Structure 1
Amino acid sequence: MLPGDGLGLSPTSSRANVGLSQISLPLAWKPKETRTFSMFLVIQSKTRVIDTKIISHVDKNMTDVIIPDSFVFDNEPEDFNVDILIYAARTDYGLENNTGGSLKSRITRSIGRKFGSSVKSQVSTPEMLKSPRLDQTISGAHYNLLAKATLSIADACEEATIHNLRMSAFADLSGPPLYGHIICRLAIQPHSVLRPILEGVLSVQHVEEGVELENTAARLQAGNLHFYSIGDIANSSKNTVLIIPLSSRSRIVPTPSARTFLLRTDESKEVPASSVYIVTNSDRDYEIWRRAIEIQIYDIGIWGRFATKISSLLTQKREDPIRETLSRGTGSNLYETISIKGKCLACSTELVSGLCAWWKKSASGSSHHPTQGYLIDQRHASSGYFNG
């Protein structure tokens, strides 16, 4: 991150607020499933940890577990990560009052010591040990970590999208059957969009447009250098006289003239080419404006499209996630929208949309049809049949 250099610029100019919303977990129940679970999520960044409310009575009547809450992480750096950890406990047959310990400890006691140690080593990986709520007892129920997703700036989008989960050992025993994906919306609001990086008075000469302005009020914000009528900066939408869009390909070029630099932008898909001479009223203003524009260019390079427009961190109305999970209207499923590569070891054919050619050919006569909850025939259902 570029420092402020003691010139009065905000030290958090290249930081952002991050919003997480529209969270849902598609489930893959088997036809004869009878178990019931409770679930909650832990969502954490480098600066904050949040627990969601516990969702009870998760059974085969639920095609998705939907988290109705939205979450905001303030003042995150450009290398932020948001970890989503999924916990569950079995709550049918009175297991919520079972005092026999967690899944890990129950397995360790019930089988041989050697294999039990192996199980504990698989469950207690360094990554899992860092989790804030591994093997927790809440209201008598023993919650175990099922899976984890890690989101970064590359996952930010205006709409909810599908992200991979990293499953923990024995996730299928301690929680509802997950498809291995989570759906959510990750949005970003850079600080340079929410408030100006710098405001002041400048003189400007726009070469391409043939515009010259002297001692004009200026504001640098959201990827644009705005010029306004003197004294009307508070009413920028009505009194804008010139807007200079910047991009990650903009650069500052020194000139021989005192207190003057050239702001040059190469043409891109979003921004036209421009050459603009900026004249400040003092040497100190020269350094401050030069530094501020460098920070703005840097922000655009880091935050991309989020650095040039205001995006809502949290959506008011949640779209139906089933369109991307089980597609109730069309009868398709999540895996038909995801590319899965590999071979089926049972019949040595390539997988297409998560299914092998053998199963596709015989599915019509199989008793395990996808609409009943199976993606593949029972003799292909074991993970041991797949070679990615």
Structure 2
Amino acid sequence: PDTSIRTLHLYMNDQIDMEVRVREGACRLLAACSQREQALEASKSLLTCNSRILALMSQLQRMKEAQALQRTGRRSSAGGSLEERKPCTGKVAISDIRIPLMWKDSEYFKNKGELHRWAVFCLLTVGREIYDTDLVMVDRTHTDICFEETLIFADVSSGFELRLELYSCYVDEEFSLAQAPRRLARLSGSLGRSSGKRLRAALESATACGLNGSTDRESDTDRAGSPGGSPVHAPALGPKYHLLAHTCLTLSHVQNSFRTHDLTISGTEDSSFWLPLYGSVCCRLVAQPNCMTLPVMSGKLKVQVSVQSWSEVYGVLKGTGLICYHRQEDVETSEEPAFTIPINKETRIRATEKDPVLNTQSILITNQWAHGESTHMLVTHTHQDTHSWMEAFWQHFYDMSQWKQCCDKLMKIEVPSPRKPMSLPLKQSSLYHDNGKRNQCILDYLCAVNA
């Protein structure tokens, strides 16, 4: 419906405006930072905001293009056709990210040479959902780069592509931002009055602050030496993150275990942000389709338990079974079901012909086993109920065929207990001291400056 589309467009625009405001705050913080830890976090926030803005704008553009195509009227000559069946969405979670390092013997075992440090983090993207990990400091005493977070992407399609990007910044021990303005009063009041102006200004300055690893595609020297170079392309103050490695994970990589995946490494050994990677990333990537966690269909049924005996049950189609309860109230009180009829990708479903005497239509559920097969007969109360149950079964089978191994058994998403291991010990004088509250602190700080 047009109303729903307009509402979604307004929501997307609000999200873009929010990210632009957060980005403005990050720019101000970066300009005011006098400590290395502050600047590293602010620069990381800036890169993340840039990525989210572009992802949201791309999604909004695709939505508008789809709406325009719909308005041109792609209608069949027969006056319309059934809508194509679409698989359910689900959750995708990635956790326990480990990226092994491959130091030279002289560096790691003999501990020779100057001790260098790098600040690294991961940016993970599925569609317009973008998450970043905590910042981790790495030197030659580390054998792996470890990120402890469990990141969950909601409402993901079975054809998802999860892009994992590893960003690195060489940390100079003599880091200084002395040339940055110390008084925020000297900064401009805002990047623009309207959200449109703020957005244009944010995108223009995004190039200067390293938009999504753009510093890797074009060196600072090339930008500074380009003909007619403008301030927009001038290198920004503060630390710069570079795309060190990336990979793309899809449904085929989902397993209910810790697995290793190949990484594509960017840059060369001569780059300052270079880290000696093995070329692989280890992680746990799991998925929970909605058909495995939410009821697909529920209602009253009669199930044949013997040749002459039938049982009135309340059936719930979910996951790998048709769960049959004695009463509907048992579902709400989490009582044990009376029995469960297995439902999997090999299950066969068919509706019988309508009984002319009883005026009923049955549903037959057949499962194959090593010792033979078993068939359960269901009877609904009305013909419409039978049609609804059959449609639910077909949709469930289609969902299973699209989500594949994710529907063999429900995969568990383990969310660790709330804790905040700080990889970068920030001093009490820090403008913000908790990565989880970073965006809100930036917004509060921006509002105070503009007041």
TM-score range, shorter chain: 0.5 to 0.7
| Structure 1 partner of 2:186 | none
Summarize the Cα distance change of 1:137–1:291 in structure 2 as closer, same or farther, 3 Å threshold: farther
| Structure 2 partner of 1:262 | 364
Matched, 1:300 2:400: yes
| Structure 2 partner of 1:365 | none
1:342-378 Cα distance to aligned partner (Å, 9 max, x none) = xxxxxxxxxxxxxxxxxxxxxxxxxxxxxxxxxxxxx
CA offset at residue 302 of structure 1? 2.8
Which of 291, 296, 321 matches 1:192? Answer: 291
Rounded Cα–Cα distance in structure 2 between residues aligned with 1:98 and 1:294 = 66
| Structure 2 partner of 1:76 | 156
Assess if the C-alpha contact under 8 Å between 1:229 and 1:239 holds in 2: no
1:209-243 Cα distance to aligned partner (Å, 9 max, x none) = 76943432111111101112135432686442221
Assess if the C-alpha contact under 8 Å between 2:325 and 2:331 holds in 1: no
Summarize the Cα distance change of 1:137–1:64 in structure 2 as closer, same or farther, 3 Å threshold: farther
Assess if the C-alpha contact under 8 Å between 2:87 and 2:398 holds in 1: no
Which of 72, 89, 95 matches 2:169? Answer: 89
| Structure 2 partner of 1:248 | 345
The gaps in structure 2 that reach 5 residues or longer are: 1-81, 108-112, 180-207, 227-232, 355-359, 418-451
Rounded Cα–Cα distance in structure 1 between residues aligned with 2:405 and 2:308 = 28
Single out whichever of 308-317 and 248-257 deviates more from structure 2.
Answer: 308-317
Matched, 1:39 2:120: yes
Rounded Cα–Cα distance in structure 2 between residues aligned with 1:97 and 1:293 = 63
Corresponding pairs, count? 282
Identity %: 23
CA offset at residue 300 of structure 1? 2.7
Single out whichever of 71-80 and 308-317 deviates more from structure 2.
Answer: 308-317
| Structure 2 partner of 1:26 | 100
Amino acid at match of 2:168: A
Quote the RMSD (CA, aligned, Å): 3.6
CA offset at residue 176 of structure 1? 1.3
Single out whichever of 139-148 and 181-190 deviates more from structure 2.
Answer: 139-148
> Which TM-score applies when normalising by structure 1?
0.63
State the secondary structure of the residue aligned to 1:14: coil
> Which TM-score applies when normalising by structure 2?
0.55
Higher helix share: 2
Rounded Cα–Cα distance in structure 1 between residues aligned with 2:380 and 2:149 = 48
Summarize the Cα distance change of 1:177–1:63 in structure 2 as closer, same or farther, 3 Å threshold: same
CA offset at residue 83 of structure 1? 0.8
Summarize the Cα distance change of 1:239–1:185 in structure 2 as closer, same or farther, 3 Å threshold: closer
Matched, 1:153 2:267: no
State the secondary structure of the residue aligned to 1:299: helix
Rounded Cα–Cα distance in structure 2 between residues aligned with 1:216 and 1:35 = 68
- Superposed, 1:287-326 pairs within 5 Å as 287-307=387-407, 309-314=409-414, 316=416
Rounded Cα–Cα distance in structure 1 between residues aligned with 2:380 and 2:261 = 48
Rounded Cα–Cα distance in structure 2 between residues aligned with 1:155 and 1:49 = 19
Summarize the Cα distance change of 1:312–1:200 in structure 2 as closer, same or farther, 3 Å threshold: same
